[in-house]
Amino acid sequence: MQNLYTRKKRWKIILAVVALLIVAASLWYTHNLVKSVALQETNQVRMWAEAMEQHALMMKYTEEFFGKVSEQEKMRVKLLSMAYRRVNDISNNENTAIYLEIIHSNISIPLVLTDDKKNILSFTNLPESQQGKKKFDAEMQQAYSKFPPIRINLGFDKVQWLYYNESLIYTELKAVLEEMFDNFMDDITFNSVGAPVIIMNEDQTRIIRYGNLDSVLMQNGDYVERQLEIMRDENQPLEIEFMDMGKAFIFYRTSDLIHQMRYYPIIQIFIVALFLLIAYLLFSYARRSEQNQVWAGMAKETAHQLGTPLSSLMGWVELMKMQEEPFVGTAEMEKDIERLQIVADRFSKIGSVPTMEPTDINALVRDTMDYLQKRFSKKINFEVNLPKGSMMVPLTPSLFRWVLENLTKNAVDAMGDHGSIRLDLTEEGDHVVIDLSDTGKGIPKSKLKQVFNPGYTSKKRGWGLGLSLAKRIIEEYHKGRIFVKSSVVNQGTTFRILLKKENR
């Protein structure tokens, strides 16, 4: 039986090692996979950042070009306005042909000529939305407010007004640049690599745009500061310049997916460990349940099988007592039959909920040890130390006697044909303490945690169920504790039982 238990333990260790190796290999593969994906995305984010720098540089060149075109267009507007003033200056005797040529060559600057009552007399290069108007209304007044109108004196107190605006080329270029700027900002904030981005102004006091971040959380200043701190730690911000906005800084970091994947191996370890723990607990529970069912079935069957020969023996004893000269051993035979009935009763109670009853543990221990002492060798010395008076404890007497018998028989087996057994019963607070010691061969420290396991035995012959049943009776039925208090090889062992006294 000991070899069987050792083999089972060895197989458990082997299976545990194999399971750990499988888990370790899985975690190693997952870790490398996550690391590879993270590195790939980091490279993608870095490539995106470099592309954004190049894009920002192209935007800067475009802005510079637009600035030059803008200056040229402004010079054209100034030149056209000067030409109109020259032509309409009656006191000027200069040749106005060149100025008229400048005026007629205008194909891009919007012009509106009105009388002194804001009626539109003529127009040139107007947008389609303004061409059908007869009156120079407030909306057009607002649209042409950038430059002051030119006053044209016609004489006889008649006045006309010439309104002009930026050229259509300049307006179209500006619209294209603004669209380019919007597309550039969208490319930054809603990038394909999923990188969270925050764009801030030059002094980094105001957020211009942000992307791939929770809009609700971005209302929290602490959250924004944490994100900026993470971004500063990961990457140097990109510095760009915009035409109307000046300098700006782009802060960015790797995506939330990578941050989550970095913790994935840890989460996986936790989940695997939790799964293994649950599986182990379920397996242990199923195994204990199966063992309990086997023990209970075996015990009840044993009690049933003992019932028939016990009844027969009781009949034979009665017949022997009725003889003229009764057999001298009849009285002892009756005691043994009574003992066998107690044993059968114990077996019948295994697997059932026992009934607890207040019992004087002093008297029960004394009777049990007296009975056992008479049935062992005279070379085994028994010492029983009990307190005076009675001590009431809720017990199932037949099962508790079984525990004492198992411990005593194990002690005798450990000592061989001679030795000493000592039982001390004391009180500690609201508990009763029973120490049963022997002078046997002791238990090695490596085996102390195994002695209560089913199947463990140091004997060549035996099932290894005695201490396991004793532990179940004490801890599950009587809600107490049983354990090895001390053990020294070749000197002896002490078992301790703790039981709670009856509440009064």
Cα four-point dihedral sign 366, 371, 372, 378: positive
Q: How far is residue 280 from each of residues 25, 231, 274, 284, 395, measured CA to CA in Å?
A: 21, 44, 10, 6, 33
Q: Which residues are 238's β-sheet partners?
A: 250
Which tens digits make up the pLDDT trace of 368-383?
999 888 888 888 999 9
Mean per-residue pLDDT, 217-230: 89
Asked if pLDDT for residue 386 goes beyond 90, the answer is yes
Rounded CA-CA distance 121/427 in Å is: 121
- Residue 70 CB partners (closer than 8 Å, separation 6+): 170, 173, 174
**Sign, CA torsion 391/397/399/405:** positive
* Cβ atoms of 469 and 360 closer than 8 Å: no
Task: Give the model's confidence band at 281: pLDDT under 50 very low, under 70 low, under 90 confident, else very high.
Answer: confident
- Is residue 137 over pLDDT 60? yes
pLDDT digits (tens, 9 = 90+) for 290-301: 666 666 666 666
Whether the predicted pLDDT of 1 surpasses 50? no
Among the residue ranges 78-92, 152-166, 195-209, the one predicted with the least confidence is: 78-92
pLDDT score recorded for residue 286:
75
Q: How far, in whole angstroms, is CA 419 from its chain's centroid?
A: 58
Domains of the chain by start residue, with CATH: 73-169 (no CATH), 174-258 (no CATH), 353-500 (3.30.565.10)
The phi and psi torsions of 169 (rounded to 5 degrees) equal -60, -45
Burial class (CB in 10 A: 0-12, 13-18, 19+), 183: exposed
Q: Is a pLDDT exceeding 80 seen at residue 218?
A: yes
C-alpha 25, offset from chain centre = 21
Q: What digits encode the pLDDT tens for the residues 78-128?
A: 776 677 666 666 445 555 565 556 666 666 778 888 888 888 888 878 877
In sign, the C-alpha dihedral spanning 105, 108, 109, 115 is: positive
pLDDT at 432 over 90: yes
As a whole number, mean pLDDT of residues 50-68 equals 74
41 to 34, 102, 225, 238, 286: CA distances (angstroms): 10, 59, 24, 19, 47
Q: Where are the beta strands (DSSP E) in 138-230?
A: 150-155, 158-164, 197-201, 207-211
pTM (2 decimals)? Answer: 0.45
pLDDT > 90: what percent of the chain?
12
Cα dist from 312 to 306, 307, 322, 336, whole Å: 10, 9, 16, 14
